Each structure stands twice: as C-alpha cells, then as structure tokens.
Chains A and B, each alone.
Chain A
Amino acid sequence: MRRQLLKGNEAIAEAAIRSGCKLFFGYPITPSTEIIEYLSRNLPKAGGAVLQGEDEIASINMCYGAAATGARVMTASSSPGYSLKQEGMSYLAAAELPVVVVNINRNGPGLGGLGPSQGDYFQCTKGGGHGDYRTIVLAPSKGQEMYDYTMKAFDLADKYRTPVVILADGMLGQTMEPIEFKERPSVELPEKDWVTTGCIGRPKRKISMYNLTNEAGEEISLKLQAKFNKMKDLEQQWENYCTDDAEYLLVGYGTCGRVGKSAVQLARQQGIKLGLIRPITLWPFPEKAFISLPKIKGILTVELNAGQMVEDVKLAVKCSIPVQSHTRVGGMLLSENSVLKKLAEVFQLEVRV
C-alpha cells in the first residue's frame, strides 16, 4: 500500500477520520496544533465537523455532550491544556462516555516550555481529575503507531464506555514519517443502547452521575471499579524487544521506547545481553510483562521526566530486581549513548561509548 509522509499529529487526525470520528472539539496548542488543523481541513469532507471551543474546558464538555448522542468524538491538546480538561475527564469517566483524548506532552510544570516531555505520566495514568477513576492510556512510539493506536483507542472507548487517552510527546507529534493508511479493523463492539437521542417510541434514558444517597454512591463506585479491574485484567499491552536471553532490561515508552531499541542494539554489539520492555498501555500498566524474569540482573527505566513510570516498574517487580532510573527533563532529549553509559554506571558494566 502507498504510504504518505505525515507528522505524527496528522497521522492521529487521519486515523480518527478513518475510525468514523465525526466530531472534534478542541483548542489549538503547540505541539499538538496539527491535529485540529488537519481535521479542520479534512473532517468536514468526511461528513464530520470541527469546532474550536472558546477554551479547553469548553471543548472537553462539548465532547461530553456529543458522546452522549453516540457519535465518535475526539479532542486533543498539550500538557497545560490537558490540565484544564481534568474536570471533564472525571465527569466522562463517571458518566461512562467514550471519548478519545489526545495529549501531546510538552514540558511542565506550569506553562513550562514547548520541548518534548513525558512529565504527564502520573497525571494521565493515575486519574488526573478528582475521584476514583482510571482511563486507558495508550503510548505510541512512532508515526505508524500514532495512527494504529488512535484506531485502537476509539474501539477501546466504545468497548468499555470510557474516555481513552493517547499520550505522546512533542517529538512524536512533530516528526514526519511514512504512514500506511490502514482500514479500520473489524471489531465486535457492544450496541450503544444507552445513547440519548430522543425517546420517541422507546423508554426514557438518562446519563447522569450525581448520587443523592451514599448507598447509591457506593453501588455506582463499585460498579465503576469492577469495570476498571476488567480493563486491568484484559487490556495490558506491551512490546518485548530482545528480551528472550536478556540479563538486563530497559523499560521505556514513546520516544524513550525507540531510543531504547537503539540502546539495545548498541549494547549487543558490545556483548551485553540487554532487552527492552516497551509499555503500550501505560494504564493499565503491563505488570504481566514483569511476572517472571529469572535471568534479569537489573532494570533501567528511561523517561523524559524526573522519574515517574519507575514507580510502576518497582511495583510490578515487587522489588525482586534492582530498578534504576535514567531521565532527562525540561524538554531535552536523551540518546542511546547516554542510556548505555547510565546502564554501565549503575550496574558496573564495561562499555565503550
């Protein structure tokens, strides 16, 4: 199939159109802006509509309304804008509304800067808004995955009636790579028998979340938790790279996932048996990838933040393996050479860098 040269952001937008997304509400922000630009140009041609809200809060709440009608709907932003959306995220999770939310992570905290970052890991994977909830978080590591995981995100959102986050960094959003425009996979999804589209000829339906008694609150919370547990059980995804004979492991996602692969190749040229686990779902975190690692002497996590995912890796191995962290912050990137150097330093290995 012929490939098209697209920015990662544009790949997300194209995949949304081909996933049957009909409505997009958003507010432009670097480095995510190409998503709303591309959709403004192309979604109307596919029978959809794009509306720029007055801000991020309005946009996520427009998504709430649109999702209640059963339409496939998406919004996109970058870190400070994603923060503004958190009230809406919590409401979407509570009302069980399927929306795809893209966060092209830039540097924080605060207004931060425009450089690539993974500083929103905690915010995206631990809830972000108020209350007990989780959202599925998918982490692409290259252009084609920006496309493929967007399609996956829409299906997961509909499967579980839940908001799904695509978390990528500015580097992935801005880099152009050849993208294959794959057709939407055929997935069996539950019928949307809950949508509020007018009740002529059928009983009334209600999408709401406010509980007048604590007993009702408990019942609804437990029902939500049961759904999150089901996701945790069924949806963990990750990629193993050269792990079969590995003695040391890197763990990295997104841009760090692809840098990690280059580090594995470098290490193996020097006889170090290094492998990589690349989490694809950041929530649910792929704990299953770490269940049995008898040969592993040490793990190095690689992140563009001050060390966030490292906590989930430590929990996953239950402290049975030494876990060290290699990070870079402030919008700066790290290279495969720096990963190898850090690996050598923390596990006393001999390397040439």
Chain B
Amino acid sequence: MIDKIVLAGFGGQGVLFIGKILAYAGMLDEQEVCWIPSYGPEMRGGTANCSVIISDEAINSTVLEHADSGIVLNQPAYEKFLPFIKPGGTLVVNSSVIDTTNSRDDIEIVEVPTNEITSELGNPSLANMVCLGALLNRLTTAKLSSIEKAIDEVVAKKRPQMREVNITAVKKGMAY
C-alpha cells in the first residue's frame, strides 16, 4: 500500500504543516514516509507545496511525476496540480476560494466549503485541517487515529489547547 500525496496553497495556509501531520501519522503507524518540500527562493504570499509519500514498504524514488491524491487551497495551486493527479485519484479542493469550472471527469474532485466550516469552528486558519479530513477517507495508509497521534506529537506538545479544535476540524472534513 502506498499513497503519494501533493499539498499546495499560498504560503501561510499551512500546506507544509498538514504535510508534516501526514508524515508523522505514517511514521507513528510504523510505516515508511517521505516529506518532500519544494525548496527555493520563496517569498511571503507566494505559493508553497510539498509532497508526502506513505508506504508499508521501503520508499525508493521520491521523484513524483503524478500523485494519487492531493489537497489544493488556492486557485493557482488548483490549476497547477489538477493535471498532476493520476486518473482515478482524488483532489480535495478548498471550494470557498477556488473556481472549479476547469475540471476533469477521470478523477474525484471533493469540494469543501472551508469558510462555512471554519467560521462555525471560530478559527479561519483551520481550513487546511478540514481539507486534510476530507482527504483522509480516500487514503489507504492513514486513518483518523493516526492523525490524532500526529496532532498529539506536533501540536499538542507545544500548544495543548489547540488539540481538540484541530481534531474537530479534521472530523468535520471527513463528512465530505
């Protein structure tokens, strides 16, 4: 079992962060993982993306030509990574800010109205976690309990008050 996942959005939307949560989830489940950033001369407000591979076997190549699934949080990320998803794969879309007129019918596009959900949660910065929840149902290598463990490790150690709200955001996303 292997999941190759791409995550993209504006810098500050937390795409590298949800990548890290996925990587921790895989590692704490005793799987093999790679977290691959696109590094380079970045600027504030620019685009950010990373890829995560989770596998129950050793991971060889970390060079991705296509991903099994992905999350895009803004329009430029949607346009860039729409062709990157394998036929039959899944793309989770932050539909509050992304226009999906240009689409594909050979992949599943999961539209998540993050603004509605995050205003209900009272924290607009949780859009990334809501989308992570929507992706979670489609992954073969990670489940809610693994994400909870990762949140404990990455978030709750430093800011325990953020644990529950992050997990709630993921659960809300899982409804999509």
Contacts and interface: CB of A to CB of B under 8 A. Distances in A.
Given A114-B39, A175-B36, A255 B62 contact: yes
A177 B34 contact: yes
Nearest to A259: B61
Contacts of A171: 36, 62
A322 interface: no
B49 to A, nearest CB: 13
Contacts of B37: 174-175
Interface residues of B, number: 20
Nearest to B40: A114
A336 interface: yes
Contacts of A336: 60-61, 63
A5 interface: yes
A124 B62 CA distance: 24
A3 B27 contact: yes
A265 B63 CA distance: 15
A174 B33 contact: no
A5 B63 contact: no
Of A31, A176, A255, most buried by chain B (CB within 10 Å of CB) is A176
A255 B63 contact: yes
Interface string B49-79: 0000000000111111100000000000000
Interface string A318-345: 0000000000000001111100000000
Contacts of A334: 63
A170 B63 CA distance: 13
Report the 8 A-B pairs with minimum CB-CB distance, sorted nearest first.
A262-B61, A176-B35, A261-B60, A262-B60, A259-B61, A333-B63, A178-B27, A258-B60
Interface of A: 3, 5, 30-31, 114-115, 170-171, 174-178, 255, 258-259, 261-263, 265, 333-337
Given A177-B32, A178-B33, 9 more contacts: A3-B27, A5-B20, A115-B40, A176-B20, A177-B34, A258-B61, A262-B60, A335-B61, A336-B60
